[in-house]
Amino acid sequence: MHESVLVGDAVAGAAAKAMQHVQALIQNMNTQTFDLADALYEIKKNGYYQAQFSTFKDFTDSLSIKARKAQYLTRIVETFTAVGIERKQYEKLGIAKLREISSLDYNGIWTNPVTGEQKPMKDFIAGFVEAGDDMELDTLKQHVRTLKGFVGDNDIVWKNLPFTRQVVEKTIDPAIELARANIGSVGKDEEGISKDASEAACFEVLAIEYLNDPGNNPFNQELGDAQETEEAA
C-alpha cells in the first residue's frame, strides 16, 4: 500500500512537471512570436529594409518564414500602436484573435446601415481587446465580417475546388494571369505600390465573360434564333 502511494505520487509529480514544461514552452513560443512582431514593425516603421530592399514586401519575401505571416504579425503591432493599446494589453488574446481584429482598417469609419450613425473603427478595435478574453474566435470573426460589410449578399463564401496539377499549370494559372492583366491595378498598398487583382476577382471576371458569351448558352441561343425568325416573318 505504502509503495503504491509512492508510485502514485511519483507519477503525479512527473505529470505535473511535464504539463508545466509544456506551458513554459508555449509561453516562450508566444513571447518569441510577439518579439518577432515588434521587430518586424520596427523595421517597417523606420524603413530599415530600404538599405537592401525596394519594399517591405521584398524584405518579408526574403525571410525564412512565410511572407504572409510576417505581414500579419507586422500589421498586428501597427494596428494596436495606432490605436494606442500596449502589447501587455493585447497579447493575451493570442495571434488568431489579434489577426482578425487587425484586419480592420484602424483609420476607417463604420456606418450603421440602419441608422446611419458613424463610429470610428478604432473604438471597435479597443472594444474587442477589452472583451476578447470572453469572446469565442468564431463570434469575433462574425463581428469583424459585419464591420467590413460582409453581410447579406455581400457575405463571403468559400469554394474549395480540386484540380490536377496539369490543369492548374496549363489552364487555371494562365487564365488568372490574363484576367489580372486585363483588370489592371486595383489601387495602391500602404507603400504606394500598385496592387494586382486577387485570384477571386480574376475568377469572377472569367465567369462573367463565360456567362456573357451567347455561344456558351444554347438555351439563350435558341431564344435568339426564335426571335430572329419571328421578326423576319
In this structure, the answer to whether residues 110 and 211 fall within a common structural domain is no
Q: Which domain holds residue 187?
A: 165-232
CA–CA gap between residue 100 and residue 187 (Å, rounded): 23
| Predicted confidence (pLDDT) at residue 223 exceeds the cutoff of 50 | no
Report the number of distinct structural domains present in the chain: 2
In this structure, the answer to whether residues 60 and 169 fall within a common structural domain is no
In this structure, the answer to whether residues 116 and 143 fall within a common structural domain is yes
Q: Yes or no: say if 124 and 109 are a contact pair by the CB < 8 Å rule.
A: no
**Contacts of residue 3, Cβ cutoff 8 Å, sequence gap at least 6:** none
Total-model pTM: 0.66
In this structure, the answer to whether residues 172 and 138 fall within a common structural domain is no
Phi, psi of 207, rounded to the nearest 5 degrees: -65, -40
Encode pLDDT of 38-47 as tens digits: 999 999 999 9
In this structure, the answer to whether residues 147 and 173 fall within a common structural domain is no
Encode pLDDT of 48-67 as tens digits: 999 899 999 999 999 988 98
Residue 59, classified by CB atoms within 10 Å of its CB into exposed (0-12), middle (13-18) or buried (19+), is: buried
β-strand partners of 110: 119
Task: Render the burial of 1-24: b for 16+ CB within 10 Å, e for the rest.
Answer: eeeeeeeeeeeeeeeeeeeeeeee
